[in-house]
Structure 1
Amino acid sequence: MNAVSTQQADETRYTFDDLAVVMGTYNEEEAIGSVLSDIDDVTDGRAEVVCVDGSSDRTPEIAREHGATVVEQEPQGYGVAVREAVLTPERPVVVTTDCDDTYPMARLPDFLDEINDGADVVSGDRLYFGADEMPGMNKLGNELFALLASVLMGKRVHDTTTGMRAYRREVLQKIRWTENTGLSAELLMRPLTRGYDVRERPIEYDERKGETKLDPFSGGAAIAKSIVRVAYEERFR
């Protein structure tokens, strides 16, 4: 998986000052404060944080109180928000996460270490440790998405829809990506099929705070469709 690493020739070592943590937020006032506090604690307040928000509750207010940059946007879905989030900061390393307190911000140093080791993309594998806090239907769906993507690409992946992933910003600028609900799978599959150094690393997964916004049936169908489409486009591009 490491045929075309974009690691800089001068082997620059990135620090938290080079890191942006981004997320789409939609009515997450129960969790957003905890997530942002964790990011601040782990990075000593040095990481840039960007929230693309379409909330009707206090989420943006809480985010600003924690020093995050808030980009207001009409609700248009997960992919649209994440797309705006990753394009907003100019720091060379971008980490996506969800704002429901399910992902371990304590892993940020590990992800940054992987980037410094030459990785272009570092993807958190929630299923490695069992993801016991994940609803059973969601867990089964995520396992099937990974199997489908693996078969179509001919390369084994274990968690295509994780919300926690680190990227070299230049990789995001070089690949074309368009999906909405299936954006997380797309941003794993396109770099992988193009030979970038893509690494999956186990992460813990906790019970979410607040209610999920994604319908498991319509959302699952959209993700499966996007996986098939992206695999087809990458094969014949």
Structure 2
Amino acid sequence: MATQSRSTAVEDEYTFDDLSVVMGTYNEEAAIGTVLADIDEVTDGRAAVVCVDGSSDTTPEIARDHGARVIEQEPQGYGVAVEEALSSASRPVVVTTDCDDTYPMERLPDFLEAINEGCDVVSGDRLYHGAETMPALNRLGNSAFAYLASALMGKRVHDTTTGMRAYRKEIIDKIEWTENTGLSAELLIRPLMRGYEVREEPIEYRERKGETKLDPFQGGAEIAKSIVKVCLEERFR
């Protein structure tokens, strides 16, 4: 496996003016307003927000009302939406989140601080505190994904499928992303196996608002397949 040194250190610290927060949205009118209001409050309205939306409800209208940039596209899955959101971000630090109000936007300053301390990727670990609001089957599956990825990489990770991460934009732009349902795992595995500085940051995980769209069995099988594929590709690249 070829390794790659981490990105060049930044002389000046990043601020909220350097931050994009991005997400894929699909019929999340129950929560999207709360998520965007939290981002606005925490960052004093200075972060840019990008939503890639395939909704049939009022999600895009609510997002625009909160000042987000909305990119509408036909629903093609989680990874397609998030990858488009990542590539559309224009600022040097990008944070991904979900739009169901499960992730703590009040931790954005901590993630930005970790980037300023030299991290290339900061990954929110939902399982550290137990993730009691997560359905038991999902919690078990996410733990299994982490053990699978750890065994294949030879490096211990604790939450491969979290939706909240911060990245240096240059890392996003350097890597070719290939997965859809398994993109969240890929976004952790490829940078880690290429030698970038990756930190897992424990976060609280809240009960979601609205209904989940992912079938736990079909989605779980696709994620496990993606983890195996990506780990083997990186090991033999």
Q: How would you bin the TM-score normalised by the shorter chain?
A: over 0.9
Instruction: Please tell me the residue identity of whatever aligns with 1:227.
Output: I
How many Å separate the matches in 2 of 1:182 and 1:46? 31
1:19 to partner: Cα distance: 0.1
1:90 to partner: Cα distance: 1.2
What is the aligned partner in structure 2 of residue 113 from structure 1? 113
Instruction: Please tell me the residue identity of whatever aligns with 2:7.
Output: T
TM-score in terms of structure 1 length? 0.98
> Following superposition of structure 1 onto structure 2, how do residues 198-237 of structure 1 map, counting pairs within 5 Å?
198-237=198-237
2:71 counterpart SS class: strand
What is the aligned partner in structure 1 of residue 77 from structure 2? 77
What is the aligned partner in structure 1 of residue 5 from structure 2? 4
- Quick check: 1:103 aligned with 2:93? no
> What does the per-residue CA deviation read over 1:162-187, in whole Å, with 9 as the maximum and x for residues that have no partner?
00000000001111211000000001
How many Å separate the matches in 1 of 2:64 and 2:8? 33
How many Å separate the matches in 1 of 2:68 and 2:177? 25
Gaps of 5+ in 2: none
Gaps of 5+ in 1: none
Instruction: Please tell me the residue identity of whatever aligns with 2:6.
Output: S
What is the aligned partner in structure 1 of residue 26 from structure 2? 26
How many Å separate the matches in 1 of 2:216 and 2:8? 38
How many Å separate the matches in 2 of 1:44 and 1:62? 19
1:130 counterpart SS class: coil
What is the aligned partner in structure 2 of residue 122 from structure 1? 122
Q: How many aligned positions are there?
A: 234
Instruction: Please tell me the residue identity of whatever aligns with 2:149.
Output: A
> Following superposition of structure 1 onto structure 2, how do residues 12-161 of structure 1 map, counting pairs within 5 Å?
12-161=12-161
> What does the per-residue CA deviation read over 1:10-29, in whole Å, with 9 as the maximum and x for residues that have no partner?
52210000000000000000
List, as ranges, runs of 4+ consecutive aligned residues in structure 1 with deviation greater than 6 Å. Answer: none
How many Å separate the matches in 2 of 1:34 and 1:67? 13
Cα RMSD, aligned residues only: 0.8
How many Å separate the matches in 2 of 1:18 and 1:145? 32
Instruction: Please tell me the residue identity of whatever aligns with 2:139.
Output: K
1:148 to partner: Cα distance: 0.1
* Percent identity for Structure 1 against Structure 2: 76
173-182 vs 161-170, which deviates more? 173-182
TM-score in terms of structure 2 length? 0.98
How many Å separate the matches in 1 of 2:8 and 2:34? 33
How many Å separate the matches in 2 of 1:5 and 1:221? 32
1:4 to partner: Cα distance: 2.6
Instruction: Please tell me the residue identity of whatever aligns with 1:13.
Output: E
